[in-house]
């Protein structure tokens, strides 16, 4: 088992001004499942490859178990990586693929056989050991790639978007298998994904990145309930949070005819660098569809997603400065129709307030 530390680690590609990863400071605990998440190009895969030794570290350090591995080759780091495209040897059987790294170490045959069969049992691959990768489904190939990593018994598992090639149903099934497997093995795991639903459902903690900079790292629940800035608030959660920058006065935030009251402390903090505006967010489930009233916001329904147990209602409202889109979740029995005008009222206890200038949570 192992701890992992990024100590102000940076990666700067030749010919670019902005670092791909900029002074990443991150501590990963022994046995922890940490997910790196963010949009394409945010630096999450580069961060993982720096840890693997596949990318140089231009500034700072990376430590595994307090040992500086910054300039060690990949084979000396005692890590195992699971790639997006599985990277299996097509001419080898499942058994041979899983045993390959142990053969290179000149591990005795009996030990190899025991390790491969134990991993195959964990991953329900026993009946496929004699097959070649081309005879397997995408989910089975992914499990073989996992098995190849498990038999090595590394200090750290690294996974780079391992589920992105699977269909939606298989992705849900496989992510639960990976999470339960990691809990059973207790191996420190760093997992990269662009899918925030994966991040929310798998990680002990989630690190959110943007433009090479770590935005926030916390438990999935804390990121959802108390996002540290506007980007994290908008990125975590599906459907996304309703986030609007609106005029501010001494009573609160103005959504057209609707005024959302804010505390004196929030108003004072919003005035600092906010240029008379404030950014307010609320989750789709934190607003109610109500009868027409002065303290509710009218929206025209553009689309209704019937989810079976409930529904997502997408619509737009005319606010000062133009039309703005809103999403609310409602019970299926009270689903409106497209083109209908409904009135929504955010729950004041579930508001997220940010400085309009800096984007930082107030």
- The full length of the chain comes to 362
Give the Cβ contact number of residue 352 at 10 Å. Answer: 21
For 161-203, write each residue's pLDDT tens digit. Answer: 988 888 888 888 888 889 999 999 999 999 999 998 899 999 9
pLDDT on residue 102: 92
Greater confidence (359 vs 137) lies with 359
Domain 4-234: CATH superfamily, name plus number: P-loop containing nucleotide triphosphate hydrolases (3.40.50.300)
Tell me if 98 sits within 8 A of 104, measured CB to CB. Answer: no
Say what the pTM is: 0.91
Tell me if 145 sits within 8 A of 162, measured CB to CB. Answer: yes
Strand 242-247 vs strand 188-193: parallel, antiparallel, or unpaired?
Answer: unpaired
Average pLDDT, the chain: 93
Question: CA nearest 44: which of 231, 222, 206, 154?
Answer: 206
pLDDT on residue 265: 94
Greater confidence (143 vs 189) lies with 189
pLDDT on residue 103: 92
**128, pLDDT greater than 90:** yes
**Yes or no: domain 240-355 corresponds to CATH 2.40.50.140:** yes
For 105-115, write each residue's pLDDT tens digit. Answer: 899 999 999 99
pLDDT band at 256 (very low <50, low <70, confident <90, very high): confident
**257, pLDDT greater than 90:** no
pLDDT on residue 98: 94
For 28-81, write each residue's pLDDT tens digit. Answer: 999 999 999 999 999 999 999 999 999 999 999 999 999 999 999 998 999 999
Q: Which residues pair with 188 in a beta bridge?
A: 156
Residue-range domain boundaries for the chain: 4-234, 240-355
Question: Distance between CA atoms of 11 and 59, rounded to whole angstroms?
Answer: 7
* SS3 label, residue 66: coil
Tell me if 215 sits within 8 A of 208, measured CB to CB. Answer: yes
Query: If you average pLDDT over residues 147-160, what whole number do you get?
Result: 93
CA distances from 143 to 23, 82, 116, 147, 273 (A): 34, 10, 13, 6, 51
pLDDT on residue 294: 77
Question: CA nearest 210: which of 83, 11, 21?
Answer: 21
Question: CA nearest 158: which of 3, 34, 24, 8?
Answer: 34
Question: CA nearest 86: which of 132, 30, 130, 27?
Answer: 132
**320, pLDDT greater than 90:** no
Question: CA nearest 35: which of 48, 24, 23, 22?
Answer: 48
pLDDT on residue 113: 94
């Amino acid at each position: 088992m192992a701890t992992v530390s990024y100590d102000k680690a940076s990666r700067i590609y030749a010919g670019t001004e902005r670092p791909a990863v900029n002074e990443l400071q991150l501590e990963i605990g022994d046995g922890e499942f940490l997910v790196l998440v963010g949009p394409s190009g945010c630096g999450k895969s580069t961060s993982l490859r720096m840890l693997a030794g596949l990318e140089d570290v231009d500034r700072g350090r990376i430590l595994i178990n307090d040992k500086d591995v910054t300039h060690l080759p990949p084979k000396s780091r005692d890590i195992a990586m699971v790639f997006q495209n599985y990277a299996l040897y097509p001419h080898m059987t499942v058994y041979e693929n899983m045993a390959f790294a142990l053969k290179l170490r000149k591990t005795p045959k009996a030990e190899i056989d025991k390790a491969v069969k134990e991993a195959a049992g964990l991953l329900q691959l026993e009946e496929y050991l004699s097959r070649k990768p081309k005879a397997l489904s995408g989910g089975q190939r992914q499990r073989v790639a996992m098995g190849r990593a498990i038999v090595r018994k590394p200090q750290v598992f690294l996974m780079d978007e391992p589920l992105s090639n699977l269909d939606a149903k298989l992705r849900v099934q496989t992510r639960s298998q990976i999470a339960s497997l990691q809990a059973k093995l207790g191996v420190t795991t760093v997992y990269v994904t662009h899918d925030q639903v994966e991040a929310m459902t798998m990680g002990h903690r989630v690190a959110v990145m943007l433009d090479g900079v770590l935005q926030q790292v916390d438990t999935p629940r804390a990121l959802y309930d108390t996002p540290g800035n506007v980007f994290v608030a908008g990125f975590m959660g599906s459907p996304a949070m309703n986030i609007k920058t609106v005029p501010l006065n001494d009573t609160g935030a103005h959504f057209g005819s609707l005024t959302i009251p804010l505390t004196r402390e929030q108003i004072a903090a919003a005035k600092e660098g906010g240029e008379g505006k404030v950014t307010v967010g609320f989750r789709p489930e934190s607003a109610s569809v109500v009868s027409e009233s002065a303290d509710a916001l009218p929206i025209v329904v553009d689309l209704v997603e019937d989810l079976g147990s409930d529904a997502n209602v997408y619509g737009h409202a005319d606010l000062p400065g133009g039309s703005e889109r809103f999403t609310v979740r409602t019970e299926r029995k009270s689903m409106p129709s497209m083109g209908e005008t409904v009135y929504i009222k955010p729950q004041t206890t579930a508001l997220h307030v940010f400085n309009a200038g800096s984007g930082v949570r107030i």
